[in-house]
Each structure stands twice: as structure tokens, then as C-alpha cells.
Amino acid sequence: MFKSIIAGIGMYVPENIVTNNHLTKYMDTSDEWIQERTGIKERRYAHRTNETTTTMAVEASKIAIERAGITAQDIDFIVFATLSPDYYFPGCGVLLQRAMKMKEIGALDVRNQCSGFVYALSVADQFIKTGMYKNILVVGAEKHSFGLDFSTRGRNVSVIFGDGAGAVVLQPTEDNNRGILSTHLHSDGESAEILAMYNPGTHANHWANKNYASFNDGEIADMFMSHAMIDNAQNFPYMDGPSVFKKAIVKFPEVILEALKKNNYTPENISMLIPHQANLRIAQFVQQKLGLKDEQVYNNIQYYGNTTAASVPIALCEAWEKGKIKQGDLVCLAAFGSGFTWASALLKW
């Protein structure tokens, strides 16, 4: 059995910096409120027409592929995590395959929101361990700025999110002292609607009391996305922030400790924890709960906001580029998000 190593890593964020003060032009909010509750100072928004989730993923992937010392032609599988795909379907994996002129390899999309990248990494790890693939491109990318409610009505959600992409190339190694040691995946669908975007979807709760047989063609066409849904802002994400906070601060430490225990480590052995950049207050709570020093945790939500599936690879890449992660280091990736789903991965860099 092989182990998987991150052979190359890359990130991309759009040039356009949007400060908290900038957002006050659109909604009733303030720099002070946003920084105090989330730690965020600014975020990046993609170019309206020239940048998509896939084009940002391409930029991050090019860097990861080059750093792995291979070409796009060598990639033999793609796992792409996003909640903001270019199209409702097909997924971004095939768009990335096309844009990078790769061979007719498999492309899998993962829809696990904030924990998407760690889930994607875990899926790729299984393929590498069994010897099925040799160069897997694992991507997390988001263009949130196209799907947020920038009026005061949507301010509890819209101020949090930013755009960007991160990618890694996973390869097999026979070196037992390196690579992914274990991954841990969890879900609890009880609270699925607490952090969700309901539409477009097939739940059709708003039609539940209607007689299906009486629909005319127009009504049937309306079921997926109606004018009324848009008028009532039901096409934007919904979040019960305090409930998410309460669950996150329990599950984050739990899944990190699970990974450490599985490999006979304790929190003090962690060289670098890369938590999903949900909210700086959540990351600080986790750090305190595990008794970690500042230099054991990397946060960059202050500058990019919450980039959901992209946040872990972006933070990992930036920490590595700054020389904060070196060969032999014990690195823990952890994420919690919509679903709820949560996950961790422990690796020797």
C-alpha cells in the first residue's frame, strides 16, 4: 500500500480587494461589526465577467502542477470541491479538464461546502493508496460574490464570504515517514437547513399543498426557480449563525483530536493546524480549547474572508509559501460546514 504526498500546491485569489468599508455602500454594516464578529478586514471578489470558479481553479492548478514537476497531461484524475459551480450541471471538474487540455481522465465533483476540500483529499487519498492513480489534482474553488444578497437583508451572510481557489497534486510514495496518515469524515444531516441555499432545488415545499395534476405547463416550468422565489430573496444562502457557531466549536476540536489519537499524537505534537477559515472567532476558540500556541495555527481569513472549499488549500499554500511548513512537519487540516459535515486530515509534510 502506498501513502499519498502533496507533491505540489498552488493558490489563486482575484486582484480585486473589497474592504469592509466598501460593503457599507451597499448595506447597513460597519468595519467594526465585521472585524469584531468575524476577524475579517477584506476579501477578494472575482472579475464579474472574466473570472469564474473554474478559471480561478485553473490558475491555482497550474501552479500546483508546475511545483509537482509534471504537466497537465500527467494528471490522471480530478476531484473538484465547490458550492459555487459555473453551471448547476455539469460540475466544474469537467470544465477544468477541458480548460487545461487534459486527457479524457475521470473528473469528480464534491459538494460538501466548507469541508469539501478535506473530503476531496480523502477521496483522492484512497485512489492513491490503492495504486489506482499516480497524479490526482484536488481542487477547492469558489466564486461566492455572484450569489450573495448585498442588501441589508443578507448582511449576516454576505460580509463573511470571499472568492478564490487552491489546488494540490497528490502522488504516491513508498516513504513511510511522509504523507497523509489518516483522514476522518463525519456528517449529521439533522440541521441541514440551518446553513443552506434552498433554491434552485427539487424540494418544492412551496408547492406541497397543490394538486400536481392541475399544473399547467407554465406552473411546472416555475417549480425549479420561480419569479416569486427571486422576489422574496429565496435564491440566496441562509445561515443561522449562532447555531452554526455552537456546533462548530464542538466538532472542530473533536475531529482534530480524533486524527491525533488515531496516530498516537497529542495537540502539542502539531506543527501546523490549518483550520477551515470559517470565522476567526471559531479558529481562536479551537486553538484555546486544544491549548495550541499561536505559531501552531495558521489563519488568513482577515484578508480573504471565508472561501468555503478553497479556504483550507489557500491557507495551506500560503503557510507553506511563507516557510511556516517544512518537510517532516505534522500538519493537521480540519473543516466544519454546511450539512453539517466535518472532517480532518493528518499528514507528515
Helix (H, G, I), strand (E, B) or coil at 165: strand
Q: Which of 112, 135, 276, 332 is catalytic?
A: 276
Q: In angstroms, what is the minimal distance from the CB of 23 to ligand ACO?
A: 8
In the region spanning residues 38 to 77, those forming contacts with ligand ACO, defined by CB under 6 A, are: 38
Grid cell 502542477 is found at 65
Closest approach, Cβ 161 to ligand ACO, in A, equals 7
Closest CA to 215 of 225, 207, 204: 207
Interface with ligand ACO includes 245 (CB under 6 A)? yes
Shortest Cβ distance from residue 164 to ligand ACO (Å)? 14
In the set 135, 279, 299, 306, the catalytic residue is 306
Q: Side by side, which strands form the sheet with 341-348? A: 179-187, 341-348, 330-337, 272-275
Q: Draw the binding track, 253-292, toward ligand ACO (x: CB under 6 A; -: no contact).
A: -------------------------xx-xx----------
The region of 221-229, 238-246, 255-263, 283-291 touching ligand ACO under the rule CB under 6 A is 238-246
Residue 241 within binding range of ligand ACO, rule CB under 6 A: yes
Residue 227 is a catalytic residue: no
Residue 186 among the catalytic residues: no
Stretch that binds ligand ACO, among 27-35, 66-74, 98-106, 290-298 (CB under 6 A): 27-35
Of these, 242, 264, 294, 295, which contacts ligand ACO (CB under 6 A)? 242
92 is catalytic: no
306 counts as binding ligand ACO under rule CB under 6 A: yes
Tell me: does residue 111 bind ligand ACO (CB under 6 A).
Answer: no
**Which residues from 118-137 bind ligand ACO, rule CB under 6 A?**
none
| Residue 212 grid coordinates | 400536481
Residues facing residue 10 across a β-bridge:
167
Give the DSSP H or E segment for 94. Answer: helix 92-99
The Cα–Cα gap between 296 and 291 comes to 10
How far is residue 278's CA from residue 312's CA, in Å, rounded to a whole number?
A: 10
Shortest distance in whole angstroms from residue 89 CB to ligand ACO: 24
- Is residue 76 within 8 A of residue 135, CB to CB? The reply is yes
| CA separation for the pair 18, 262 (Å, rounded) | 41
- Nearer Cβ to ligand ACO (16/191): 191
DSSP E strands, the chain? 3-12, 17-19, 42-44, 77-81, 106-110, 136-142, 164-173, 179-187, 195-196, 238-239, 272-275, 330-337, 341-348
Burial 79-112 (b: 16+ CB within 10 A, else e): bbbbbbbbeeeebbbbbbbebbebeebebbbbeb
Give me the sign of the Cα torsion angle 16, 20, 21, 27.
positive
Q: Which of 166, 172, 337, 339 contacts ligand ACO by CB under 6 A? A: 337
- Say which of 20, 92, 112, 114 is annotated catalytic: 114
- Listed ranges 72-80, 131-139, 155-163, 218-226: which one lies at the site for ligand ACO (CB under 6 A): 155-163
Q: Quick one: which of 83, 197, 244, 314 contacts ligand ACO (CB under 6 A)?
A: 244
Report if residue 195 touches ligand ACO, rule: CB under 6 A. Answer: yes
Specify the DSSP class assigned to residue 207: G
Sequence-distant (≥ 6) Cβ neighbours of residue 62 within 8 angstroms? 10, 72, 100
Residues in contact with ligand ACO by the rule CB under 6 A: 29, 33-34, 37-38, 114, 155-156, 159-160, 195, 241-242, 244-245, 248, 278-279, 281-282, 306, 336-337
User: Annotated catalytic sites, by residue?
Assistant: 114, 276, 306
